A and B are shown apart, each in its own frame.
Chain A
Amino acid sequence: MSTFPTSARSAPVNLTPLDARSRELRKTIVRTMQAGNRGHLASAFSLVEILRVLYDDVLKYDALNPRWSGRDRCILSKGHGCLALYALLADRGFFPESELWKFCRPDGILGGHPEYGKVPGVEASTGSLGHGLSIGIGMALNGRFEGAAHRVFVIISDGESGEGSVWEAALCASKHRLDNLVVIVDYNKQQSYGTTYEVLDLDPLPDKWRAFGFAVTEVDGHSVSALREALRATPFEPPKPSILICHTVKGKGVGFMENNPSWHHKTKISEEDVRSLLAELEG
């Protein structure tokens, strides 16, 4: 079905071009990281289109009233991808852009992992992996109890899927037939040490989720139109919970960062690094 590689056995290649908005968001992410002099840049870059489509086209929310009860709940369970989330939340007006330039600083609200209660629009504090899906299940159960129309979106990573709690949660979501829950996997096939194939293989990932009772769709995680179409089609097969497996590239958009594990988490970013990153994103 796909025009992009879905196996984790080789480094993924994704030739989907980035449009101006995707490049601008990435530049904002680079500048945010520069302000904190650190960050999970590559993990954020694989996530930009997923979050962009969610916040631009899918989620219901009110940025000026982030606790509005009718909002869709969106949990970034792969909290280390927060640079991308911050860029989107600032862009959509949840907080002033000036907060970005205080990333990881003592007087800022934006840390290396997103915190509930500090950052408007953040539904749960994440960072330690394998927590967000269970929290999202509680929220989805409450939504059903209240007869509410809102939905719950939980974004997890592939490395995160090594946590047993993810699969406990998968059993639970399926048992409760939570069709108001959408799990999104940022499947970039890289984790901190190396490829998921080498470190802890997840293939065949769609089959695993299918076996756990989810309705599974796979998509090019950098194609805005494909993501839009897929997310608008949720729930895929009610009453099953939905999972969208997004085939992505870690570091997407910057040649020297793509599939390069040394960019998983970077500290001490030089001016030259920033210049090279921004130059690659000029397009």
Chain B
Amino acid sequence: MRKTCLDMVYELAKTDSRIFFIGSDLGVGTLQQFKREMPERFFMEGVSEANMIGMAAGLALEGKIVYANTIATFLTRRSFEQVALDLCLHNAPVRLIGNGGGLVYAPLGPTHLAFEDLAIFRALPRMTILAPADANEMRRMMPLTVDHPGPIYIRVAKGGDPIVTSETSRFEIGKAFPMRNGADALIVTTGVMLKRALDAAERLGAQGFQTAVLHVPTLKPLDEATILDFAAEVPAIVTVEEHTVIGGLGSAVAELLAEANFSHPKRFKRIGIPDAFPDQYGSQDSLLARYGITTENIVHTVQQLIYTKAKEYREQSWAD
């Protein structure tokens, strides 16, 4: 996905001279071809992220489309004020490409883990937040980022992530996409967690629970109508994200559900990282497992919600 993202920046820049690229201090050879063929639009600015964002804003205010790339935490934590003021306040068309969204950099420890990036940027007016599920979706998404108004944050996963969307699936910024239908439960997910959600729905289906899966690659603006349409049809809803349960997809859906005031109450659970700094190294998968962001736990959580709902329903019927 990461390679596809940068390859697409190069492809788009070849035919659009408004497109500039700025990196911080990225790996040697990054976008070599871009640098060779369009050196006047390629900048590598070193370990100075605040300046990189301000500089991107200056170019954007002059009509350029700037793709700025570094590790996700350096965009969200280190450069927060530059992003808030230089980009969002000015509505500057800068596209922030955040490497290692979520727990990708598990072996590098908490300084490099972008587990609250969605929460940080969700709070910013005018920010668009995109978290595609795989390289296919990234390829379909990137051309749409060029002329989208205002700043965009693109959450990039590890690379080599399993392909779960087809090359011909539809993509639109601001839309959620139903990946599977079902009347017993709904799993809402974003980014590369779509694979785990689909696997869980498959297993639940084999057990007789028809589980819908809604993929939300645009965290902001949130496709509230689609999420509510799907939520209205099921008794139980689970959100799955590679992110703290505070302020990300789970929070956004919870806010929606709370204000929807459905006449039939829903069972709801957020699956994500608890309110703590991840305290182990290992791998992305091992940290995800530590926090129960696994196919097994999604299956288990959905089952529990459905059982509880059924029990409530029986008790209610007897009381009547």
Contact = CB atoms under 8 A, between A and B. Distances in A.
Given A169-B54, A172-B55, A134 B62 contact: no
A65 interface: no
A111 B56 CA distance: 25
Interface in A112-170: 116-117, 123-125, 128, 130-131, 133-143, 145, 164-165, 168-169
B41 interface: yes
A90 interface: no
B85 A137 contact: no
Given A131-B86, A134-B82, A139 B46 contact: no
A274 interface: no
B54 A165 contact: yes
A109 to B, nearest CB: 15
Given A116-B90, A125-B90, A128-B85, A137 B61 contact: no
Interface in B221-267: none
A54 interface: no
A172 B52 CA distance: 9
A171 interface: yes
B53 interface: yes
A172 B48 contact: yes
Dominant SS among interface residues on chain A: helix
Contacts, number: 87
A169 B55 CA distance: 8
Contact of B40 (A131, A145, A171): A145
Interface in A191-212: none
Nearest to A139: B58
A123 B60 CA distance: 12
Contacts of A136: 58
Nearest to B22: A138
A135 B57 contact: yes
Contact of A139 (B59, B89, B90): B59
A133 B51 CA distance: 8
Contacts of B85: 125, 128, 131
A169 B86 CA distance: 14
23 contacts: A124-B58, A124-B61, A131-B86, A134-B55, A134-B57, A134-B86, A135-B54, A135-B55, A139-B59, A139-B61, A139-B62, A142-B58, A143-B62, A145-B41, A164-B50, A165-B50, A165-B51, A165-B82, A168-B50, A169-B54, A169-B55, A171-B48, A172-B55
Ranked nearest first, the 10 interchain pairs of A and B with the lowest CB-CB distance are: A138-B58, A134-B54, A168-B48, A168-B51, A142-B62, A165-B50, A138-B59, A135-B58, A138-B55, A139-B58
Interface of B: 40-41, 43, 45-46, 48, 50-64, 81-82, 85-86, 89-90
